[in-house]
Amino acid sequence: MTGKGNNSSSRLKSRFRGALIGSAVGDALGAPVEGCTMEEVSSFFGGRWELKSAHYTDDTEMMIGVAESLIERRGFDAADMACKFLRNYHAWRHYGPGTRAVLERLKAGESWEEASTKVFNGEGSYGNGAAMRIAPIGLFYYDDPDTLWEVAYKASHITHSHVLGKEGAAIQAYSVALALRGERGGMLTYLGARIKEERYRDKLAKIEQFMGMDADPGANSYKKALIEELGNGEAAFNSVPTAIYSFLRFYSFSDSVIYAVSLGGDTDTIGAMTGAISGAYYGEEAIPPEWLRALEGGMRGRRYIEWLGDELYRIKIIHDSY
Ligand code: R7I
Ligand code: MG
Ligand code: MG
């Protein structure tokens, strides 16, 4: 373990929680401005980066399903995870059209192997809907990158059968795992050793270029160039690399997540993915308490998400050590 991390069990537990709750908080921060331009985001928040809405969206609702399934099945079970997605679905959380169509097919009785392959003219989705929910898999398989990569692909397939949707989710899951292990400086090298798809190899090179630039990342011209090169959209390859960059470029949970949201575009999702990586790295204590307090409560709110993090930790770390 390197970087800011240490091995103590309470730190690790906090990082499990941090990844899940960090993702939910990033989602909720970005939700009211999803689809807005950088300028619109800036005028909406007016320099006060608060959770204007308590509610999380589909990103977190699906992440909850991934965590629930891993916990209940003590590992990956595609059919069960598909059931959890269906059971948890609420249209008002604003799902992507491809995922909605797949869930309809599942509800109508189509198998989880088939349903996702029918959308987008049979090409399957490369949207970021698989990556946005993948954090629990990054936690559960953090010490086994081969299995992590394989399971991330399989878990993506339930809704996203396009290879670029799956690879994006695997990259996001591995980033969460590396962050949990305290790997910051080596993150891009580790990712580079696994990424197969050219589209993502190009993006990785661009992240490195931006990291090496001696310029103010907050300047509008810089942000515009970043959006142009890395992207801020709903395709996995236009959002996962932006989340990784947002984590790496800054040195606190809030700076990274605020930056991700400030870029506009798919703000809830890039916020959620940045929040998952940053939360896994810094732990729950690093999340601004006012953001935690503002996040929705209730049966499936903040406390429940924290409990899911605790359960994943208990099964993975405590149970494994017996
Ligand atoms: O990936 P998905 O679940 O969407 C997630 C997004 C996040 O921003 C959430 O916050 C929520 O708002 O939705 O849903 P999909 O519809 O599968 O993918 C998202 C978008 O990516 C699609 O609506 C398309 O615009 C685009 N897309 C594709 N376009 C053409 N061909 C994804 N796959 C394809 C494709 O194969
Ligand atoms: Mg959303
Ligand atoms: Mg979104």
Ligand 1 within 6 A of CB of 98: yes
Cα separation, 83 vs 67, in Å, equals 13
Cα separation, 306 vs 65, in Å, equals 14
Nearest CA to ligand 1 atom 31: 120
Tell me how far the alpha carbon of residue 104 lies from the centroid of ligand 3, in angstroms. Answer: 20
Residue 167 structure tokens:
């690879």
* Ion ligand 3: residues, Cβ under 5 Å: 266, 268-269
At residue 5, the pLDDT reads 42
At residue 4, the pLDDT reads 43
Ligand 1 within 6 A of CB of 59: yes
CA of 103: how far to CAs of 24, 53, 154, 168, 307, in Å? 22, 26, 16, 20, 26
Tell me how far the alpha carbon of residue 170 lies from the centroid of ligand 2, in angstroms. Answer: 19
Ligand 1 within 6 A of CB of 161: no
Tell me how far the alpha carbon of residue 104 lies from the centroid of ligand 1, in angstroms. Answer: 15
Ligand 1 within 6 A of CB of 35: no
Place of tokens 């798919």: 266
Element (H, E) at 34: none
How confident is the model over 27-66, as pLDDT tens digits?
999 999 999 999 999 999 999 999 999 999 999 999 999 9
CA of 282: how far to CAs of 123, 175, 247, in Å? 38, 13, 11
Nearest CA to ligand 1 atom 3: 129
At residue 10, the pLDDT reads 84
Ligand showing the shortest atom-to-Cα distance for residue 117: 1
How confident is the model over 85-97, as pLDDT tens digits?
999 999 999 999 9
Cα separation, 168 vs 128, in Å, equals 7
Ligand 1 within 6 A of CB of 234: yes
CB atoms within 10 A of CB 145: 17
Tell me how far the alpha carbon of residue 248 lies from the centroid of ligand 3, in angstroms. Answer: 21
Tell me how far the alpha carbon of residue 163 lies from the centroid of ligand 3, in angstroms. Answer: 20
Tell me how far the alpha carbon of residue 95 lies from the centroid of ligand 2, in angstroms. Answer: 6
The atom number, within ligand 1, closest to the CA of 62 reads: 3
Cα separation, 105 vs 263, in Å, equals 34
Cα separation, 290 vs 10, in Å, equals 22
Tell me how far the alpha carbon of residue 94 lies from the centroid of ligand 1, in angstroms. Answer: 12
What are the residue ranges spanned by the domains of the chain? Answer: 7-321
Most distant pair of Cα atoms in the chain: their distance: 54
Q: Exposed, middle or buried: residue 21 (CB in 10 Å: 0-12, 13-18, 19+)? A: buried
Task: Tell me if the pTM is above 0.75.
Answer: yes
Cα separation, 37 vs 244, in Å, equals 20
Q: Is 245 helix (H, G, I), strand (E, B) or coil?
A: helix
Ligand 1 within 6 A of CB of 120: yes
Tell me how far the alpha carbon of residue 272 lies from the centroid of ligand 2, in angstroms. Answer: 9
At residue 9, the pLDDT reads 83
Nearest CA to ligand 1 atom 36: 125
Nearest CA to ligand 1 atom 5: 129
CA 265 to chain centroid: 16
Give just the sign of the alpha carbon dihedral 160, 270, 132, 240.
Answer: positive
At residue 321, the pLDDT reads 60
Residue 69 structure tokens:
């399934």
CATH number of 7-321: 1.10.4080.10
**pLDDT < 70 positions in the chain:** 1-7, 320-322
Q: Which residues pair with 235 in a beta bridge?
A: 127
Cα separation, 195 vs 168, in Å, equals 9
Helices in the chain by DSSP H: which ranges? 9-30, 38-45, 58-73, 78-88, 97-107, 112-115, 135-140, 145-157, 163-180, 187-192, 198-212, 220-229, 240-249, 253-262, 267-282, 289-294, 302-313
At residue 319, the pLDDT reads 77
At residue 169, the pLDDT reads 99
